[in-house]
Structure 1
Amino acid sequence: MFKLLTPVSLALLFALHVQGKGSVSLDSYTFDKVISKFKATLVKFDIAYPYGAKHDEFLKVAEASHLQSDLLIADVGVKDYGDNENADLAKKFEVKKEDYPAVKLFVQGKDAPIDFKGKDFNADELKKFIRSNSGVYIGLPGCLEKFDAIAIKFASSDVAQRKVLLREAEDLWDKATGKSEQKAAETYVKTMRRVIEKGEEFVANEVKRVQNLLGGKISKEKKEEISVRLNILNSFQKDEL
């Protein structure tokens, strides 16, 4: 169940300029007041009027996070002309112009933000970055939150505990509704079974195999299906960014 924002939080958000669906623009006056209201805030420091592929990928994360009340996606537009708007924020967090777009994750209880250093600047990598560093769930396309929680535990458990988790996943599979949810649930369960049967290396080998398939000539529908499988497989791996 999602938490309701407090009246103060809502008032702050409605008073802010929205930069694309789900992303809120912050400035020197609003920054500290707003991010303090959320468990985690992903902030992109960029030029005042950002554009391009990386900005588009960032906005995909913003749109995907709209139901997650613990997470805020925000941007800080920095000007190096006129009144140098937000240049003080960039200086405070040691962001230089050549770093744009620079992404930082602010997590409640942590003194310093965490820098995004992923080798690929895309929505999926940003989502994994949020999840692995804050505990806030924001799933990859096709993934299921309850199964992802099991997969994360499964990856770091011994064989005996994995069998318990497999049974838990099988019970959830029985309750899955809709074709896509049932298909995803089946993929989680079958992956767990293969790991128990073939060992730790199954997931890594399967990821490589699926990535090779994606690199080949396949239909759009097949590519979407395989991409979902890859996302689910990644749920069984530790995020390394």
Structure 2
Amino acid sequence: MMDKTPVYLIFVYLTLLFYNVRALAVKGSVPLDSLTFDKVISKHKAVLVKFDETYPYGEKQEEYKKVASRGSSQPDLLIAEVGIQDYGNKENSELAERFGVAKKEDRPAYKLFLQGQTEPIDYEGEIKDEDILRFVSHHSKLWIGLENCLQEFDQLVKRLLGSTSDEEKSGIIQEAEEALQKLEKDDDKNNADIYVKLMKKIVQKGNSFVKDEYDRVKKLSEEKVSDAKKKSFESRLNILASMKSQAGHDEL
């Protein structure tokens, strides 16, 4: 016997099912609304919030999933999102007005909230997970496992940036070179080699070299270059961004 369920009911069911699937929580991300926003934000050292549609999808949402997954490894960083509804009950519209993202074309918008600061820091770059995580690492001074970065070498960089004697700096460089020799994976060796070369430049030119070199490479990466060269710049940028986060003070 043929099912006589009206076609429009089937359509409604499939539509609701589709939206429910899309609305599934992003792994590593916490949904916030007008009731929970301020309570949650105030309790964390750093919170990266994405203001977006209620049911986002597409390439930009895929980038956010990467950000949430990788950023969640840092215990002092919370990744969160606010879904804004432009119709019906206009869910979270007050938050959209409050943070200047009421217009649909202004979303998705990323804002970094730091404990003790009254205003968030706006992210204005491309919606790419590496760029967003570099932005967070730079402003929060938190270590985030960016691609190409090695925590052991970041710790050596932090010691180097804080050292005051030439003898101590030479010892740290030697430790880095010895650590490089112990690595087995080719990718790790290549990245560690970049660290060692940059650390030697820091000794030669001073701590300000980190920021100057980051700005220089960032500018080069924005020019029209081959994919291979762009990837090389991105690797170096990630390491430099992580170095900046190790500095722990604003002059870098």
Task: Give the aligned length.
Answer: 220
Q: Distance in 2 between matches of 1:69 and 1:237?
A: 19
CA pair 40-237 structure 1, distance change in 2 beyond 3 A: closer
The 5-angstrom pairing of residues 74-113 of structure 1 reads 74-97=80-103, 98-108=105-115, 110-113=116-119
1:135 to 115, 135, 141: 141
Aligned Cα root-mean-square deviation (Å)? 3.8
CA deviation vs aligned residue, 1:3-44 (integer Å, no higher than 9, x gap): xxxxxxxxxxxxxx8532222221122223333443211101
Q: Distance in 1 between matches of 2:50 and 2:109?
A: 6
Runs of at least 5 residues in structure 1 that lack an aligned partner in the other structure: 1-16
Q: Distance in 1 between matches of 2:77 and 2:90?
A: 28
What amino acid maps onto 1:107 in structure 2? L
2:170 maps to 1:170: no
2:48 maps to 1:48: no
2:69 maps to 1:63: yes
CA deviation vs aligned residue, 1:156-189 (integer Å, no higher than 9, x gap): 8779365354234234435545443333222211
Q: Distance in 2 between matches of 1:32 and 1:206?
A: 38
CA pair 54-182 structure 1, distance change in 2 beyond 3 A: same
What amino acid maps onto 1:73 in structure 2? I
Kept in 1: contact 2:93–2:102 (CA 8 A): no
1:184 to 165, 176, 191: 191
Overall identity of the aligned pairs, in %: 41
The 5-angstrom pairing of residues 1-241 of structure 1 reads 19-97=25-103, 98-108=105-115, 110-151=116-157, 160=166, 162-174=169-181, 176=183, 178-194=185-201, 196=203, 200=209, 203=213, 207=217, 211=221, 215-216=225-226, 218=228, 227-236=234-243
CA pair 163-117 structure 1, distance change in 2 beyond 3 A: same
Q: Distance in 2 between matches of 1:224 and 1:22?
A: 26
Q: Report the Cα offset of residue 87 of structure 1.
A: 1.0
CA pair 176-41 structure 1, distance change in 2 beyond 3 A: same
Q: Secondary structure at the match of 2:126?
A: coil
Q: Distance in 2 between matches of 1:68 and 1:227?
A: 21
Bigger Rg, which one:
2
CA pair 111-195 structure 1, distance change in 2 beyond 3 A: closer
CA pair 197-33 structure 1, distance change in 2 beyond 3 A: closer
Q: Distance in 1 between matches of 2:43 and 2:244?
A: 31
